[in-house]
Structure 1
Amino acid sequence: MCGRYSLGLSWEQLVESWHLASWPVEPHWTPRWNIAPGQDILALGPSKEGETKAAWVRWGYPLGNRLLINARCESLTTKPLFHEAMKSQRTVIPADGFYEWAPDRRAFRFTAQVPLSIAGLLLRSRQEPIWRVVLITCPANRWVGDIHDRMPWLLTPEQVPLWLDRHSTQYRTLSATELPLTRYAVSSRLNSAQEDTPDLVLPMPES
């Protein structure tokens, strides 16, 4: 699963990395190092002018008595909940790292040499006016597999426009990639969603 990630980039870095159009979130943007479910997060999508825009959405979709935060890539075409979202509500969640917990509850951070684009789906219920998002997961690759069996579905820069294009079906051909990742242990303070400071991304001894 993917239960926490970080986006410690400036607004200028976000605009450059994802070629964002000017958008009202700019004055309200603050870098984040411990983004958790239930919070408002940045999501990217296409504008009517064909540009990439950013908007605030809430991470997690209420489903019965639980909050659905992830969607398995294997079930995207079979679960009715995702049917409409897959056709026209695909989104990208920008990140600069994500976290997973080992079976012994040690927390690890995963990063890459490029900013990360996590595939997601936008959902909205009839009972509320806000958009919600679930992050798509896939089987873990060789950099994550010995820590957890699932990981975020990371799109390459070339895949991002194909995933976001709502007038094309090329997104159906996309698959998870072997994006090289760097891994290191981080502080157990990450366990608290109230903690959100830059030192959370500093390496800790794995022992």
Structure 2
Amino acid sequence: MCGRFAITLPTDAMAQLFAAQPANDLPKVPNFNVCPTNPVHVVQAGDTGRQLVSMRWGFLPHWYKSESAGPLLINARAETIAEKPAFAKAARERRCLIPATGFYEWTKSEDGARLPWYIHRSDGAPIAFAAVWQNWGADDPVKTCAIVTTAANQGLSAVHHRMPLILEAEDWGKWLGEEGHGAARLMQPGPEGVLDYHRVDPAVNSNRAEGTELIEPFGEDDIPRGQLI
């Protein structure tokens, strides 16, 4: 899964990277602790080209009567996204990208402590999560989104059994629907050697934590042991 992430890329750099026109109401950056229900940067395709917009992280199906009417849908499993009523139409028609610098996962030590890990590209480049979006509400629609996840590749499986679907630049157009069909073929674990990870301060266990120190190495940096969570 992907339950927290960091974004440090300036807005103008994001717009340039994705060749997208930025909106005026984008979330502030940097944010080292992006949490569910927070507004996030999203790249979507449109008739006039790509747009960089703000959306609520937490997909709201159209039948929800309120934002808390059902489970908080921050992730959509690639294996079932085309079949789930909440996501099926979005998977066909409303795919998008969420920029990130890295993301967090947790293991559990033998004594039950939650141990956070920061996962990032080995080359230091920004990450593009595959995602889907949905307008929710009739009177004043709220744009909402969920990150697509796959089974973890071998390199990341020691930290977690799931991982966000990360797309390389050459696949962005296909995922966004700019290059015809074929997005389904992108929904598989990423290649080995692209991601690296290290332990970070347990302070990030709090959704109120902030600051660059959240992504800095902390404590022992061995291969994780104990229970995955």
TM over 0.5: yes
Q: Which residue of 2 aligns with 1:170?
A: 182
Q: Secondary structure at the match of 1:172?
A: helix
Count of residue pairs the alignment pairs up: 205
What's 2:51 paired with?
53
Matched, 1:135 2:147: yes
**Mapped partners of 2:84, 2:22: distance in 1:** 35
Match of 2:156 among 144, 150, 167: 144
Partner of 1:194, secondary structure, is coil
**1:74 match: secondary structure:** coil
What is aligned with 1:125?
136
Indicate the RMSD between aligned Cα atoms, in angstroms.
1.9
Query: Residue 147 of structure 1 aligns to a residue in which SS?
Result: coil
2:168 to 156, 162, 170: 156
Question: What TM-score, normalized to structure 1?
Answer: 0.91
Deviations 1:93-135 (A, max 9, x none): 0001011001332100011122101011102334661011111
1:17 and 1:115 in contact (8 A); partners too: no
Could you tell me which amino acid in structure 1 is paired with residue 172 of structure 2?
Answer: V
Shift of 1:4: 0.4
Q: 1:33 — aligned with what?
A: 32
Per-residue CA shift, 1:123-149, capped at 9, x if unaligned? 233466101111111001122101110
- Return 5+ residue gaps in structure 2 as ranges: 222-229
Compared CA separation, residues 30 and 129, structure 1 to 2 (3 A): same
Q: CA deviation at 1:84?
A: 1.4
Give distance in 2, aligned partners of 1:6 and 1:15. 17
Using the alignment, how far apart are the partners of 1:99 and 1:172 within structure 2? 26
Of the candidates 86, 104, 127, which is equivalent to residue 91 of structure 2? 86
Q: Which has the higher helix share?
A: 1
Unaligned runs of 5+ in 1: none
Report the TM-score when normalising by structure 2: 0.82
Identity of aligned residues (%): 27
Aligned to 1:203: 217
Structure 1 residue corresponding to 2:82, chosen from 53, 77, 81:
77
Output the CA distance in 1 between the equivalents of 2:101 and 2:13: 11
**Which whole-Å CA distance do the structure 1 matches of 2:107 and 2:197 have between them?**
12
What amino acid maps onto 2:129 in structure 1? I
